[in-house]
Amino acid sequence: MPRVIFYTATTFDGFLADTDDSLDWLFAVPDAEEAESGIAGFMSGIGVLVEGRTTYEWVVRHDDLIRHPEKWTEFYGDRPTFVFTSGAPVAVPGADIRFRSGPVSDAWGEIVAAAGDKDVWVVGGGDLAGQFADAGLLNEIVLSVAPVTLGEGRPLLPRRLESDRLTLTGVRRVGQFAELTYSVDNSTR
């Protein structure tokens, strides 16, 4: 059974994106490249990506992926990506993108089959990660905390997860970021 990992960057005050759903604040952090350098090792253990519509559409816009679909493969490879949405976003040409709606538990069997013997990366957003937590499917949270405050924006995890479900398993400094890893206990939910 694959593990489901919510691996993301957040601000000091707990936001993933600003009020315009932008991540520009993240790329302005000094040494952001150093923080991104560990992504290749992480990606080697990932079989499937899962993201919400807002995250997907921001990535498509930010990297101009409709005109430059090769950029998708450069970062994500040929891994299947499940995008949870109630609408019908435009698919990146040539990418294995599967649009789904409804509860994450409804697509879980398909996600597991697509992941094979590797893990699932919840790329974003926070509400989608929360849906995995609600369903008892979220196993790990890896937060890269950036030295930024936004005051408002998209919250990291708009759910209540008590400390009895979260165990700190790792802390490390990566450039200007503090990386915190928590295991999620699904037996107490």
Query: Which alpha helices (DSSP H) does 31-135 contain, by range?
Result: 32-36, 39-43, 53-62, 70-76, 104-115, 126-134
Does residue 36 register a pLDDT over 90?
no
pLDDT band at 68 (very low <50, low <70, confident <90, very high): very high
Does residue 189 register a pLDDT over 70?
no
Does residue 34 register a pLDDT over 90?
no
Eight-class DSSP state of 92? P
Query: What pLDDT, on a 0 to 100 scale, did the predictor assign at position 49?
Result: 98
| pTM, full prediction | 0.95
Measured distance CA(98)–CA(87) in Å, rounded: 12
Does residue 27 register a pLDDT over 90?
no
Pick 4-160's CATH classification: 3.40.430.10, 3.20.20.80, 3.40.50.300, 3.30.420.40: 3.40.430.10
If you write DSSP's letter for every residue of 1-56 in order, what string do you get?
A: ---EEEEEEEETTSEEE-TTS--HHHHTSTTHHHHHTTHHHHHTTEEEEEEEHHHH
